[in-house]
Amino acid sequence: MVVRLVLGLAITLAVLAVAGRRAFQLYRIGRTGQAVEPGRTSGVGKRVLAVTTEVLGQRKLLKWSVPGAAHFAVFWGFTILFATIIEGFGALFDRDFHIPIIGTMTWLGFLEDLFIVAVLVSLAVFSVIRLRQSPEREGRRSRFFGSHLGPAWLVLFMIFNVMWTLLLYRGAQINTGNFPYAHGAFASEAVAKVLAPLGSTANDVLETVGLLLSLGVVLAFLVLVLYSKHLHIFLAPINVAFSRRPRALGALLPVYSGGKEVDFEDPGEDDKIGRGAIEDFTWKGLLDFGTCTECGRCQSQCPAWNTEKPLSPKLLIMSLRDHAAAKAPYLLAGPDTSALPKDVLAEAERSLVGLVSEGGVIDPDVLWSCVTCGACVEQCPVDIEHVDHIVDMRRYQVLIESQFPKEAHTLLRNLERAGDPWGRGAQARLEWMAGLPFEVRVLDEGQQLPADVDYLLWVGCAGSLDENAKKTTRAVAELLNEAGVQFMVLGGAETCTGDAARRLGQELLFQELGKQNVETLNAAGAKRIVVTCAHCFNALGNEYRQLGGDYEVLHHTQLLSQLVAEQKLVPVHPVEAAVTYHDPCYLGRHNRVFSPPREILAGVPGVRLTEMPRSHEKSFCCGAGGARMWMEETIGTRINETRTDEAIATGAELITAACPYCIVMLTDGANVRKQQGKAADELQVIDVSRVLLRSVRDPEAG
């Protein structure tokens, strides 16, 4: 008894000292981050709900059925088996110890054993998954590519050790008569049967050895967790609790510095614009980096990574985490850094964004490859906010360093001068309505929307100026007219929403364009707006609130599906075609509009809809988001062609989408494949509204 007490307490105190030191060190690193924006720490109810569903319920992990179920078992295993740790420490003092009240109840003994077995089975599942999906077998396609594989195996081994030592201890305890449970602990009873022939003395020794081993392994595991990616065991609940709610998709945050929004008209001297160094991130950003489990779910979904670009959201987060850890001694040292080791000083010298070959942490090609599709955020089980971090780094590059891909210069110049990406100007914004069989009502300057107008139709830059998108605008206008919906347009008073500028990092330009639009919309008394572009939908509906514009914004597929349901539009003419539907990222993943476009297609007679393997939340980007539409794609394969191939593989004769940018990208992809003889000449890429128009009017229309 004395031996086990002395040894047990000595090991515990030593480990707690090491663990406490490390926890304090991590806390100090976290404190080097900037203050978070307002609202990040309020709303206790929604944050408790998030932790309940995402951590306790493992909501996101369970979307990946097999590994999700295994992780569920391990998470709940460690939670339930905390009871065995209490029992173990109690037994250091008293061999007959049991947890008060519930500590001898059959169900608890059963539950503990059930989870010991479940965890052991899960370890086998994890091992098989890791072997089958190893980077050696799958190369870049493996979600574990770039993860620290050795430590991950070590952690699995440690968990295995926790389980078998526990079974050894419990089995011997049964034989020495010190086990708290008379029945129910089926696995421990099985081990006891194996150990029983060794006799009572041997079981006495095994009980002490098993107990010390079990507690020793648990304590060693605690230290390992604090020094490895398994830190997420402690950080994930905190990270989820303070993540953006309902999610870090949709609207981007304005530029914050020190917890306050930067006023670009009157910036403060100390304002930090974007993130130009690791210490510019908020403590929540640093928490994000430290919480990454290296699971690679984000990487497996990333369109950039899947088309051989250098960007992997996982590797980006890991690089930021490693840099933060390596630079931390410098940040914590205060003004006198002379005593710091050379490697720490060298780390402090690294540019946050710069060629990796020249010491940069994040390569510019990594930063500019992102299409802001949000697939990483959607998948991340610990709610890391990749897109916000990427855009924040872009903001610094654009607004402070003036460093960004040269093709984007043309985009920004056109937006500044003409208010649209093509540089066509306000007068061209009325051309789309030429040839319509009815007159579109255009709001005069200074005019308020008349009371009989149901919706303001926001046409958007592509909808006014791109030839293909103009057909969509005309189709939507015809359908609204057919349904008797009264609508007006702003004509030349519209200017670009600034979506692409914002995602490029040019927040100042976004604000200028946005404020101009908000002023126009508010002056017109706009309340209900319908848009045909997923990016305009997101900007007007989610982001303009930040600029003083609060509107009810409908995507055209939402309004059209409603009109079909109300039988104000009746699709009667069959459109005999195999059809597939591409979910635009900014309509689907960012704004959760999945059903209306599908409802429209389902209502059109003759349409045979086949989903692509990656659809809904898992949709694969067309390659246009994040202002990538306006930049050359010179690395790897083209995202739009990859997505077009997926659409073609469904046997589709019509590829449909609900965003002009997707239509442009997929049309380009289809044209390439037609030239290569890999797609039928008849293959068409059109907006869902045009399919509906063909059915409402006649099959040749639209």
Size, binding site for ligand SF4 by CB under 6 A: 29
- Identify which range of 100-108, 154-162, 249-257, 310-318 contacts ligand SF4 by CB under 6 A: 310-318
- Rounded to the nearest whole angstrom, what is the least distance from the CB of residue 124 to ligand SF4 in the complex? 22
- Identify which range of 129-137, 200-208, 382-390, 603-611 contacts ligand SF4 by CB under 6 A: 382-390
Nearer to ligand SF4, 206 or 304 (CB): 304
Start-to-end Cα distance in the chain: 87
Among 376, 440, 490, 513, binds ligand SF4 (CB under 6 A): 376
Place of tokens 């917890």: 259
Place of tokens 């409802």: 599
- Identify which range of 164-172, 264-272, 375-383, 407-415 contacts ligand SF4 by CB under 6 A: 375-383
Nearer to ligand SF4, 573 or 616 (CB): 616
Alpha carbon 635 to its chain centroid, in Å, reads 23
353 binds ligand SF4 (CB under 6 A): no
What separation in angstroms does the CA of 506 have from each of 108, 424, 479, 539? 58, 20, 36, 15
Torsional sign, CA 386, 388, 391, 395: negative
298 binds ligand SF4 (CB under 6 A): yes
Among 91, 168, 217, 292, binds ligand SF4 (CB under 6 A): 292
Nearer to ligand SF4, 123 or 384 (CB): 384
302 binds ligand SF4 (CB under 6 A): yes
Nearer to ligand SF4, 71 or 598 (CB): 71
Among 303, 329, 597, 660, binds ligand SF4 (CB under 6 A): 303
317 binds ligand SF4 (CB under 6 A): yes
Residue 39: how many CA atoms within 13 Å on its side-chain side?
Answer: 9
E strand or H helix at 408, and its extent? helix 407-418
Please state, as a whole number, how many other Cβ atoms lie within 10 Å of the Cβ of residue 107.
Answer: 12
Both tokens assigned to 384: 């890391």
| Alpha-carbon span 250 to 262, nearest angstrom | 20
Among 235, 371, 453, 461, binds ligand SF4 (CB under 6 A): 371
The contacts of residue 270 (CB under 8 Å, 6+ apart) are 257, 258
Both tokens assigned to 247: 């999610």
235 binds ligand SF4 (CB under 6 A): no
- Identify which range of 181-189, 272-280, 383-391, 602-610 contacts ligand SF4 by CB under 6 A: 383-391
- Identify which range of 151-159, 274-282, 306-314, 486-494 contacts ligand SF4 by CB under 6 A: 306-314
- Identify which range of 132-140, 294-302, 551-559, 574-582 contacts ligand SF4 by CB under 6 A: 294-302
Site string for ligand SF4, 386-425 (x = CB under 6 A): xx--------------------------------------
Write the DSSP assignment of 594-606 as a string of letters. Answer: -HHHHHHHHTSTT
366 binds ligand SF4 (CB under 6 A): no
367 binds ligand SF4 (CB under 6 A): no
Q: Please, which contacts does 443-452 make with residues 24 or more away whose CB atoms are closer than 8 Å?
A: 443/488, 443/489, 443/490, 443/491, 443/493, 443/524, 445/493, 446/523, 447/524, 448/523, 448/524, 448/525, 449/488, 449/524, 449/525, 449/526, 450/488, 452/486
Instruction: Judge contact between 240 and 42, C-beta under 8 A.
Output: no
| Alpha-carbon span 291 to 317, nearest angstrom | 9
Query: Where on the chain is the footprint of ligand SF4 (CB under 6 A)?
Result: 292-298, 301-304, 311, 313-314, 317, 370-376, 379-382, 384, 386-387
